[in-house]
Amino acid sequence: MAKPWWKDGLPFKCTQCGHCCRIEGYVWVNQKEIEALAKQLEMSPEDFEWKYVRRVGRRKSLIEKPNHECIFWEDGCSVYESRPTQCKTFPFWNQNLESMEDWLEVVEECPGSGTGVVYTAEEIEELRKGHGQTNKK
């Protein structure tokens, strides 16, 4: 199997700018994530889902504010401790790592991408699988 173009790792250090939280898109959630978010907000999972989740085909996503910000963006993530896997693993998503060009587009949008601590290829692979989170010091 050929090594990925990012075989030597990639740098990332979240700057807490929130750009990734303030754009139109989907924040996919599963039942375990819904339960964790509901617990943090001291709600039942059913109430949380009714208030904060929308169906998109067969999947579920957090709703957005009318300006497309994440519903939990308030000059920072108000549910950071329980944020979904998608949020924990940004920017190391499959679509961002397809090619160096795709990564460079992320670097243009996200001030933390391309700077900071280098994540090894092994760490990136785990993040792509939805394991772990990007918070290395």
Asked if pLDDT for residue 1 goes beyond 80, the answer is: no
Which pLDDT band holds residue 16 (cuts at 50, 70, 90)?
confident
Which pLDDT band holds residue 135 (cuts at 50, 70, 90)?
confident
Domain ranges of the chain: 10-128
Q: pLDDT digit string (tens) for 110-133?
A: 999 999 999 999 999 999 999 999
Averaged pLDDT for residues 98-115 = 95
Averaged pLDDT for residues 16-25 = 90
Which pLDDT band holds residue 136 (cuts at 50, 70, 90)?
low
Q: Which residues contact 34 (CB under 8 A, 6 or more apart)?
A: 45, 48, 49, 53, 60
Rounded CA separation 36/29 (Å): 11
- Residue 66: which of 22, 110, 17 has the closest Cα? 22
Q: Which residues contact 108 (CB under 8 A, 6 or more apart)?
A: none
22 token code pair = 């303030």
